[in-house]
Amino acid sequence: MVRDTLELNKSAKMNVRGLNIWYGDNHAIIDADLDIRKNNVTALIGPSGCGKSTFLRALNRMNDFIDDCVTKGSVDIDGTDIYRTQYTNVNNLRKSVGMVFQKPNPFPKSIYENIAYGPRLHRMAETREQLDAIVEDSLRKANLWSEVKDRLNDNAFGLSGGQQQRLCFARSIAVDPQILLLDEPCSALDPISTNAIEELILELKKNYTIVIVTHNMQQARRISDTTAYFHLGEIIEKGSTKKIFENPNHRKTKAYVSGDFG
Give Cα 78 to chain centroid, integer Å: 17
- Give the DSSP H or E segment for 178: none
pLDDT for residue 2: 40
Bridge partners of 213, per DSSP, are 44, 183
- Name the pTM for this structure: 0.92
Which residues in the chain show pLDDT less than 70?
A: 1-8, 10, 85-88, 262
Residues 6+ apart with CB under 8 A from 193: 160, 161, 162, 165, 186
231-260 confidence digits (pLDDT tens): 999 999 999 999 999 999 999 999 999 887
Burial label, 62 (beta-carbon count in 10 A; 0-12, 13-18, 19+)? buried
pLDDT for residue 4: 40
1-10 confidence digits (pLDDT tens): 344 445 667 6
| Fold classification of 2-257 (topology level) | Rossmann fold (3.40.50)
Residues 6+ apart with CB under 8 A from 130: 124
Cα dihedral 155/161/163/165 (nearest 10): 100
Boundaries of every domain in the chain: 2-257
Give dist(CA 107, CA 56) in Å, integer: 23
